[in-house]
Amino acid sequence: MSHRHFLIHKPYGYLSQFVGEAKKKKLGEFYDFPEGIMAIGRLDEDSEGLLLLTTDGRTSELVRSRHFEKEYYAQVDGLVTDAALAQLQTGVEIGIHGVKYQTTPCQARRLDPAPVFPPRTRKIRDDRHGPTSWVSIIVTEGKFRQVRKMTAAVGFPTLRLLRVRVGDIWLGDLAAGEVREVAGFGF
């Protein structure tokens, strides 16, 4: 059986799934995906960006088991400090389903100038609420809402979150909702 692989730019407000709660928006609205398609990892409903899809369970397991780097760009509330970035880099304590968890060291840096993305479908907030800044966070683990919890733990809650890279695969110029079939992921 020949497997199929896709990249999608998951927009804000969609679940990283194809079936489920009827009232929620799902990925199947963007493309007539083949039977057996699955997301490799997930992005929560409020997050955007690169999502890899495949019909090959082995590929999915490979990406998750080898701890591929995942890079996120987070717009945070306030002007992120060097001290906060240092905390993120060494790991912070977050809660995962009511249990304390220490994140592994990661790469974190300020993005200056800020990246340019099209406006989100739902406005984030007005400038009158104070400044924001952007950070890049590269993790190899993928706990539930991990990046959001990490930035909040160092005092800079995430306002907007986009995954821009998985391994060597970049979001690039893929527009929100755009699907691109690829021959494979090159892993």
- Give pLDDT tens digits for 48-75: 999 999 999 888 888 876 678 999 999 9
Whichever domain contains 44, its CATH number is: 3.30.70.580
Whichever domain contains 104, its CATH number is: 3.30.70.1560
Q: What is the domain extent for residue 41?
A: 5-66+168-182
What pTM, to 2 d.p., does this model score?
A: 0.94
Catalytic residue IDs: 44
Domain co-membership, 93 together with 123: yes
Domain co-membership, 101 together with 149: yes
Beta strands in the chain (DSSP E): 5-10, 14-15, 25-26, 38-40, 48-54, 70-77, 93-96, 99-102, 107-110, 132-139, 158-166, 169-170, 179-182
Question: Which of 16-25, 109-118, 120-129 is predicted least confidently?
Answer: 120-129
Asked if residue 29 has pLDDT above 80, the reply is yes
Domain co-membership, 40 together with 103: no
H or E element: which one contains 87? helix 82-90
Domain co-membership, 120 together with 158: yes
Domain co-membership, 11 together with 28: yes
Question: Which whole number is the average pLDDT over 116-124?
Answer: 82
Question: Which of 13-17, 116-120, 146-150, 181-185 is predicted least confidently?
Answer: 116-120
Is 68 in contact with 169 (CB distance < 8 Å)? Answer: no
Q: How many domains does the chain have?
A: 2
pLDDT at 9: 97
Over residues 79-116, the pLDDT tens digits come to 999 999 999 999 999 998 889 999 999 999 999 999 99
Nearest to 102 by CA among 145, 146, 163, 69: 146
Is 62 in contact with 3 (CB distance < 8 Å)? Answer: no
Domain co-membership, 74 together with 51: no
